[in-house]
Structures are given as C-alpha cells and as structure tokens.
C-alpha cells in the first residue's frame, strides 16, 4: 500500500520537476538529514505544481484508503511519498521524532500534508500525541486536515480527545459529517457535551447549529 504514493508520483512528473525530485529523493540506504529533508518537503508544492493527478490516480488513492482523495493534489502525494521514503531508511525508534520535527517546523500546507499521511506511515499509533496536538490549532486548514476526511481520529483517539474534535468542529463551523467514522464513536458523554453547548447558545440568544441535532440523533456506538 505504501508504494502506491511513490508509484503515482513518479508516473506523473516529468521535465524539470522530475529532475528536481530525483535530486531531492531520499536515499534508500542512508538515514535522511533533517534539514535536507525539510527543504525537499517544503519545496514539493512549488516544484511539482505543473504536474496534475489523473482520474486513475484518485481511484488508486481511494483504493489505498485515502478518504476524500478527489481533493488531493500532487503535493499531498509527493509529501506522503517523501515521508514514507525517508522513514524507510530510518530506524523505527526515530520515526516519531522525525515526523514531529517535519510537522512542527512546516508551514500550514506542509502540516496538513503530514496529518493526511499519518494513517499511512508505519505504526500510525505512535503519532497520537502529534495528532491530538494538531487539533489545538486555530488554523482552519490544519484543523480540517486532521478532523475531516481523515481516518486517524476515529481509529486512534481516546474518547475524550475524539469528543474535543467533534466539539471544535461545531465551534469552527466545520460540518461534523466530514469527520470520518463519526457514527462509530458517538457516546452518551459526547451527546451530553453537544446538548450542553446547545443550551449555552440558547441562553445566549444565539442560533444552534444543525449539526447538534445530527449528533444527538445518531445512535450511540
């Protein structure tokens, strides 16, 4: 499955982009240097922007488990492929810290790319702290990258953290229907939180988002 990203990437790029990627591509048998990797990760969007994903690529990504693949661009694919390639040459014990540094020091689109890739990296559970921390952002693009069309929260988040994702989505006017596998994680406690929120809004004379009813009416998992 992890080979799918680099297969798509190399099949789609040509010309100067291909030359650039060949130079930036991490070695198979040598631990990646973080500075050089960060430069490649940062440059991927700009360097590859003339290359487009094709319909068959979207299908392949979907088959590999990417949710919402139709909104992926070449840089999402490239960044996931770069991460997988770099980690393959790094001892497993160093993976979490490597990914964390790439995430922390990336711009918002780089951070979003890391978050989209988490489920596809080896031992995804080791990125739980990073993913929970990402939900604390106030930057909508970053929050959406972890909360929406991403299997990670429902698969790995403890209940309290998953509930925070749902509440924050309602706060940020992000449709909760975009949270993958939401129905599998609805609990009486989540319903209580959402109903408390609705009560606060009514007491304040403000409107209550439709998503409140959506959650309250879902069956408890």
Partner 1 sequence: MKMFDHHIHMTSRTTDDYQAMADAGIVAIIEPAFWVGQPRTHVGAFEDYFLSLVGWERFRSRQFGIHHFCTIGLNPKEVNNPDVAEGVMELLPIYLEKESCVGVGEIGFDDQTAAETRHFEAQMQLAMDFDLPVLIHTPHRDKKAGTARTIDLVKASGIEPGRVLIDHNNEETLPLTLDSGCWAGHSIYPNTKMDEDRMAALVQQYGTERITINSAADWGVSDPLKVPKTVAAMRKAGISEADIETVVWHNPVSFFGQSGRLDLGEHGERPRIDQSELWEGNSVLRGQEAVVEPAE
Binding site for partner 1 (CB under 8 A): 104-105, 129, 132-133, 135-139, 160-161, 163-164, 167-168, 171, 193, 196-197, 199-200, 203-205
Q: Which residues contact 132 (CB under 8 A, 6 or more apart)?
A: 157, 161
Nearer to partner 1, 49 or 136 (CB): 136
Nearer to partner 1, 82 or 132 (CB): 132
Minimum Å distance from CB 154 to partner 1?
17
123: alpha, beta or left? (left if phi > 0; alpha if psi -120 to 50):
left
Q: For residue 92, what are the CA distances in angstroms to 1, 56, 95, 183, 184? A: 18, 32, 5, 33, 31
Pair of tokens at residue 166: 């749902």
Can you read off the two tokens belonging to residue 202?
Answer: 């009514």
Q: How far is the CB of 206 from partner 1 (least distance, A)?
A: 9
- Cβ-based nearer residue to partner 1, 50 or 133: 133
In angstroms, rounded to a whole number, what is the distance separating the alpha carbons of residues 65 and 136? Answer: 25
Cβ proximity to partner 1: between 18 and 178 the closer is 178
CB of 104 to partner 1, least distance (A): 5
CB of 25 to partner 1, least distance (A): 27
CB-nearer residue toward partner 1: 1 or 204: 204
To the nearest whole angstrom, how small is the minimum distance from the Cβ of residue 147 to partner 1? 13
Which of 18, 168 has the CB closer to partner 1?
A: 168
Nearest distance in Å: CB 9, partner 1: 29
């Amino acid at each position: 499955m992890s080979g799918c990203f680099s297969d798509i990437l190399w099949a789609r790029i040509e010309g100067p982009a291909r030359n650039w990627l060949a130079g930036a591509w991490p070695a198979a048998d040598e631990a990646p240097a973080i500075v050089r990797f960060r430069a490649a990760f940062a440059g991927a969007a700009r360097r590859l922007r003339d290359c487009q994903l094709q319909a068959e690529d979207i299908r392949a990504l979907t088959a590999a488990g990417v949710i919402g693949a139709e909104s992926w661009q070449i840089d999402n694919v490239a960044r996931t492929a770069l991460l997988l390639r770099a980690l393959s040459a790094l001892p497993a014990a160093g993976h979490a810290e490597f990914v964390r540094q790439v995430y922390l020091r990336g711009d918002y689109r780089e951070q979003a790319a890391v978050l989209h890739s988490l489920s596809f990296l080896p031992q995804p559970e080791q990125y739980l702290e990073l993913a929970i921390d990402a939900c604390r952002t106030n930057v909508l693009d970053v929050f959406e990258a972890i909360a929406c069309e991403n299997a990670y929260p429902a698969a790995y988040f403890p209940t309290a953290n998953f509930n925070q994702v749902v509440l924050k989505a309602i706060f940020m006017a992000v449709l909760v229907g975009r949270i993958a596998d939401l129905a599998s994680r609805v609990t009486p406690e989540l319903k209580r939180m959402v109903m408390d929120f609705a009560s606060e809004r009514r007491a304040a004379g403000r409107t209550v988002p439709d998503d409140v009813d959506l959650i309250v009416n879902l069956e408890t998992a």
